[in-house]
Structure 1
Amino acid sequence: MTYKNLQHFIDVLEKEGELIRIKEYVDPKLEIAEITDRISKTPGGGKALLFENTGYDFPVLMNAYGSERRMCLALGVNALDDVAKDIESLFHMLSAPKESIIDKLKMLPKLGQFASWMPKVRSGKGECQQVVWQGKDADITKLPVITCWPKDGGPFVTLPIIHTKDPISQTRNVGMYRMQIFGPQLTGMHWHKHKVSAKHFNEYKKLGKKMPVAVALGGDPVYAYSATAPLPENVDEYMLAGFLRKKKVELVKCITVPEIEVPADADFVIEGYVDPNDDLIWEGPFGDHTGYYSLPDWYPRFHITCITHKKDAIYPATIVGIPPQEDAWLGKATERIFLAPMKMTMIPEIIDMDMPIEGVFHNLVIAQIKKEYAGQGQKVMNAMWGAGQMMFNKILVLADEGVKIQNYEELTRYALQNLNPATDIYYTQGPMDVLDHSCNKLGFGGKMCLDGTKKYEEEIDDTYDLENTISEINDDDIIQRFPEIMKVNSSLLQKGIPVLVISVEKNRKGHVQELHQNICQLTEVEGIKLILYVEHSVDAGDLAVALWRFCNNLDPKRDHILVNRPSVRNPNKNFTCMGLDGTRKTKDLDNFQRDWPNIIVADDETIRSVDEKWNRLGLGAFLPSPSLKYKSGVYGNEATVS
């Protein structure tokens, strides 16, 4: 489906019962984010929210992509897999042998479709330029830019569609990088070193020239998705947008940076430049999609020269933080859409892929393959870690056709039945997301693959006892033996899953390694294959939270402890158990030299303010703040920024 503009999308959301209009005044500073956080964590992602009374001239749209249903509406499909099927069908058609003139003639309509998807630059002004602010009037503080979390460095533009061009080839890139507001005509430009816009910036730096940049907000909802999509550098994001909307994107030249073209139907366009000769600006912190604050760092300055907008412009925004949030559904769309290209170009044996919400995108990825020979899991592992943004993946779990990977309980049971902790877990190092705080060095850390596929004879080491029967574990008995353990979760054992989750309070160097060695000497733990250690401030019984914290805090190559010892129940075999230390790392106990961020929570004043006005918001039954879970009790010690 093609949307005329963002207002058209809002009209469809409202017609489909997917939108709530909020007429009560809500402050863009913290309150909008707090309300959105409560709604986005309701089953299915809640509703999209249109805040019509913000104290500014423009309403604010939040949570527009925050459910599978709304994501499908944004992309104009009935199911996210429909896009992958279209891509796969197109690929097969283009790659099929053309043996006759008839076969070649049949291609012409599809080639015509290709042309219809390519973006077109039209002459004149677009709807996005109905109102023009230049000079001192180009003031970004006139927009209802939200402040998301109390320890954020300031207000941030969170759904910016950022346009840059390579100064040599003039190839366009469209990406999404947060922008902190520092003044009426100054923001930060938070592009990471791996991003294409950062490469463009480096090219301008070599040339000693200012870099023109334009930022679009709003328009057809497919634009924001396309800006987040992990496309190859030579693929225009607006070609993807045209493919998704089945109609080419019309672009117009910017007013003060005419080298850059932007969608004609955008709600706002912020024009300006980045000067490579400028000093960098100290940007952040920012409550990020990991659920932790990303720490401040030096980033380029973006100078605003012009702001244009539609007469009836709507300001779109999003928040990220402790999952689940709206970005989980954007990630789910990418997971489904880009499965087909990955299968067809790099990993033909891949059947399916899943990125659990608790893994916040890169941290945890599950892949299902059609396995036909020994060592195929390692082949897939290496291919996936070399596939675009999959290079940032930290934990990769492989399964085969014997299980449905979206059923996490069945998947875990199946994968661990097939797993020998001593031989089927692989480690390496490589590029990591710069938001990963567990690495010893920024953007570089450990990766782990758990090969849970059924093993061929060549892959089996008969010296290990891998019988899956497990003795009964007495949680209280283990806690009494080891006073540093706050809680043991052995509930997975009753489901045939040989995993323990343990909350531990560290008090000395090497504590978790020593503890794991001692636990593994107990006869009753034979049969357990993995023990996941989390901070004592984490409730090991809350599996979703424990997994989220564990994945964030683990560097697998550094933090694994493998125990091998003779088996008591089978003296001719060895017992092996892998311990993984997902606790917080410190300088004193772990020789960890980087700052460690804290988890994101709303402040008490904002929670009280939203509580007081809740009945006037039209949002139904009262929802308490999700932050309350992390502000007290066992979660409290990491709930503020140090």
Structure 2
Amino acid sequence: MAYRSLREFLERLEAAGELVRITEPVDPVLEMAALADRAAKQGGPALLFENPRGVPGSMPVAMNLFGTRRRTSWALSCDDFEEHAKELRALLRMAPPQSFWDKLKMLPKLGKLAAMTPKHVSSGPSQEVVEREPDLRNLPVLTTWPHDGGPFVTLPQVITRDPETGIRNVGMYRLQVLGPRRLAMHWQLHKTATAHYRAYKKRGERMPVAIALGGDPTLTYCASAPLPPNVDEYVFAGFLRGEAVRMVKGVATDLDVPADADLVIEGFVDTSAPLVREGPFGDHTGFYSLADDYPALEVVAVTRRRDAIYPATVVGPPPVEDQWLGKATERMFLPMLQMIFPEIVDMCMPVEGVFHNLCLLSIRKDHPGQAKKVIHGLWGSGQMAQTKTLVVFDDDVDVQDVSQAAWRAFANVDVKRDLVLADGPVDVLDHASSHFAFGGKIGIDATRKWREEGGREWPEVCVHPPEVLARMDALYDRLVPGAAPLRRARIAPPEAASWAPKCGGILQ
């Protein structure tokens, strides 16, 4: 189901016992974040702070909306986000162009998706109240960590437009409140909004920006999705929610904004003005990102619903709720990677790797050097280029089981033979890199080694025969009343005939 408002989504959560209303006053400075952080780490409910302390007459604050797989799936209008992955896989197979990006660009033209392009309307709830002289200090913007440079907007949909092509981008970039009508725009080096900013600066023009908050949570997710620059995030949102996103013209800019958002901030960046100091900020890496200089947005209008709800999130030491946004991205973008790398079976980006530090992959290996081919290929593919550590396994390894993957990697890797070291772009938040946004990367080939790769006799994994396991599990359950269900690692039985002949060079 598509949601016409954030409130509608919260009503679904409350009916399912997934929402807790907090009526006592809680301060947006440090307190809300501490409470939401605990809820996220324990898989707890979504929280609705109905009385933000110190912000008279302010709107309620909703947090931990994406704090479980179940809620994230519901937010994306499905029972489990694997459903979207399956549909994307089917659609990509239908698309006639051969290029991965061409296939993505074809999505709006495929059958029912033609109806999912954004729909323009004359008015919407997001403009029920219009403030031409707004004061951002009247919003319950959170200060999350004690050394943060100030309050930060953390769940925005930042809308910009390419001045040359007119193509829209929607990104999720943190925004520091610097004053009643001023925001610092954390546009990182590799982000599309930064490219738009450079284009406006080259033209000597000021840059219009709109920031939407709330509405259907699918829109919030899509702002975080790593889509290619020329793919409209609101088209992707229409696909996920099964209904076109309603858009309305901004009141102060000529940008289109979601008609059903809870809140919209509009303004302009003076591209000729000096940059402003932004940060520090307790980031999703679990460390404070250092203060740096970024463009400033001069806010000229704020519009909102009469019953607006302000959405926020906590990022910091994992696990927090962004792990489920990342997991949804991992599952839905796997079919897209498989269009370019058909040998990839599965992918896992463990929460401990905070997205860009670690990626585990399993592949169907049918020639020597294939794992290293995948490593180098992924380092040249979109945002995967910023992945610091890639570990590649055979297809009998369940990479979703991080414990099993670690066991296999430590057992299978010869550090002189199987490591790939390279220099290249890294995430700008990587504080360990030798230079800003540039540093060392490592690929690890944890697959069985063929003779051509320097392999010798390779042992099989110990696996009980399935028929014996079934009988003994049943016997154990009878002998040990109340025994907890066994969580056994999914390891494919050794079927040497399925892979040894292809190896040709494995010594038996």
2:24 is aligned to 24
- Return the alpha-carbon distance in structure 2 between the equivalents of residues 456 and 83 of structure 1: 37
2:116 is aligned to 117
Matched, 1:429 2:396: no
Contact 1:350–1:370, Cα closer than 8 Å, also in 2 = yes
Amino acid at match of 2:335: A
Matched, 1:352 2:350: no
Residue among 166, 171, 187 paired with 2:167 = 171
Contact 1:364–1:393, Cα closer than 8 Å, also in 2 = yes
How far off is 1:95 after superposition? 4.0
- Return the alpha-carbon distance in structure 1 between the equivalents of residues 292 and 403 of structure 2: 40
2:90 is aligned to 89
- Return the alpha-carbon distance in structure 1 between the equivalents of residues 109 and 164 of structure 2: 32
Amino acid at match of 2:405: L
- Return the alpha-carbon distance in structure 2 between the equivalents of residues 301 and 169 of structure 1: 24
SS at match of 1:338: helix
What TM-score, normalized to structure 2?
Answer: 0.86
Residue among 209, 214, 217 paired with 2:213 = 217
Matched, 1:34 2:30: no
1:51 is aligned to 49
Residue among 401, 408, 417 paired with 2:395 = 401
Contact 1:208–1:276, Cα closer than 8 Å, also in 2 = yes
1:390 is aligned to 384
> Deviation string for 1:582-640 (max 9, x for gaps)?
xxxxxxxxxxxxxxxxxxxxxxxxxxxxxxxxxxxxxxxxxxxxxxxxxxxxxxxxxxx
SS at match of 1:363: coil
1:481 is aligned to none
- Return the alpha-carbon distance in structure 2 between the equivalents of residues 465 and 264 of structure 1: 60
- Return the alpha-carbon distance in structure 2 between the equivalents of residues 374 and 264 of structure 1: 54
Contact 1:395–1:449, Cα closer than 8 Å, also in 2 = yes
- Return the alpha-carbon distance in structure 2 between the equivalents of residues 77 and 223 of structure 1: 14
Q: Matches of residues 282-361 of structure 1 in structure 2 within 5 Å?
A: 282-344=277-339, 346-361=340-355
> Deviation string for 1:41-87 (max 9, x for gaps)?
11xx2110000011332000000011101001001222221111000
How far off is 1:270 after superposition? 0.2
How far off is 1:467 after superposition? 13
Contact 1:52–1:59, Cα closer than 8 Å, also in 2 = yes
> Deviation string for 1:125-171 (max 9, x for gaps)?
21100000003xx1111110010011000000011110000111111
Change (3 A) 1:467 1:16: closer
- Return the alpha-carbon distance in structure 2 between the equivalents of residues 10 and 85 of structure 1: 27
> Deviation string for 1:474-514 (max 9, x for gaps)?
xxxxxxxxxxxxxxxxxxxxxxxxxxxxxxxxxxxxxxxxx
SS at match of 2:400: coil
Identity of aligned pairs, percent?
50
Amino acid at match of 1:16: A
- Return the alpha-carbon distance in structure 2 between the equivalents of residues 110 and 134 of structure 1: 39
How far off is 1:461 after superposition? 5.5
- Return the alpha-carbon distance in structure 1 between the equivalents of residues 162 and 89 of structure 2: 30
Residue among 181, 187, 211 paired with 1:185 = 181
Change (3 A) 1:443 1:188: same
1:226 is aligned to 222
1:441 is aligned to 435
Larger C-alpha radius of gyration, 1 or 2?
Answer: 1
- Return the alpha-carbon distance in structure 1 between the equivalents of residues 38 and 458 of structure 2: 48
How far off is 1:414 after superposition? 2.1
> Deviation string for 1:263-291 (max 9, x for gaps)?
00000000000001111101100000000
- Return the alpha-carbon distance in structure 2 between the equivalents of residues 415 and 371 of structure 1: 16
- Return the alpha-carbon distance in structure 2 between the equivalents of residues 445 and 211 of structure 1: 32
Amino acid at match of 1:120: K
Change (3 A) 1:264 1:377: same
> Deviation string for 1:215-273 (max 9, x for gaps)?
00000000010000000111000110000001111100001102x00100000000000
How far off is 1:96 after superposition? 10
2:9 is aligned to 9
Amino acid at match of 2:36: T
Amino acid at match of 2:326: G
Q: Matches of residues 192-207 of structure 1 in structure 2 within 5 Å?
A: 192-207=188-203
Contact 2:449–2:455, Cα closer than 8 Å, also in 1 = no
SS at match of 2:25: coil
Matched, 1:279 2:274: yes
1:64 is aligned to 65
Amino acid at match of 1:255: V
Change (3 A) 1:467 1:8: closer
2:477 is aligned to none
SS at match of 1:324: coil
Contact 2:95–2:110, Cα closer than 8 Å, also in 1 = no
- Return the alpha-carbon distance in structure 2 between the equivalents of residues 112 and 422 of structure 1: 51
Amino acid at match of 2:49: F
Matched, 1:236 2:232: yes
Matched, 1:410 2:410: no
How far off is 1:424 after superposition? 0.5
SS at match of 2:248: strand
Q: Structure 1: where are the runs of 5+ without partners?
A: 98-106, 469-642
1:362 is aligned to 356
2:472 is aligned to none
* 73-82 or 332-341: bigger deviation: 73-82
CA RMSD in angstroms comes to: 2.0
How far off is 1:457 after superposition? 1.1
2:467 is aligned to none
Contact 1:52–1:58, Cα closer than 8 Å, also in 2 = yes
What TM-score, normalized to structure 1?
Answer: 0.68
Q: Structure 2: where are the runs of 5+ without partners?
A: 99-105, 462-508
1:515 is aligned to none
- Return the alpha-carbon distance in structure 2 between the equivalents of residues 456 and 443 of structure 1: 36
Amino acid at match of 1:30: L
- Return the alpha-carbon distance in structure 2 between the equivalents of residues 246 and 18 of structure 1: 23
- Return the alpha-carbon distance in structure 1 between the equivalents of residues 213 and 17 of structure 2: 24
- Return the alpha-carbon distance in structure 1 between the equivalents of residues 230 and 109 of structure 2: 21
SS at match of 1:209: coil
- Return the alpha-carbon distance in structure 2 between the equivalents of residues 146 and 443 of structure 1: 27
- Return the alpha-carbon distance in structure 2 between the equivalents of residues 356 and 140 of structure 1: 36
Amino acid at match of 1:37: D
- Return the alpha-carbon distance in structure 2 between the equivalents of residues 461 and 68 of structure 1: 41
- Return the alpha-carbon distance in structure 2 between the equivalents of residues 387 and 357 of structure 1: 21
Contact 1:54–1:60, Cα closer than 8 Å, also in 2 = yes
How far off is 1:376 after superposition? 0.3
- Return the alpha-carbon distance in structure 2 between the equivalents of residues 262 and 467 of structure 1: 57
SS at match of 2:155: coil
Matched, 1:248 2:244: yes
Contact 1:420–1:466, Cα closer than 8 Å, also in 2 = no
Contact 1:178–1:189, Cα closer than 8 Å, also in 2 = yes
2:498 is aligned to none
SS at match of 1:216: strand
How far off is 1:193 after superposition? 1.4
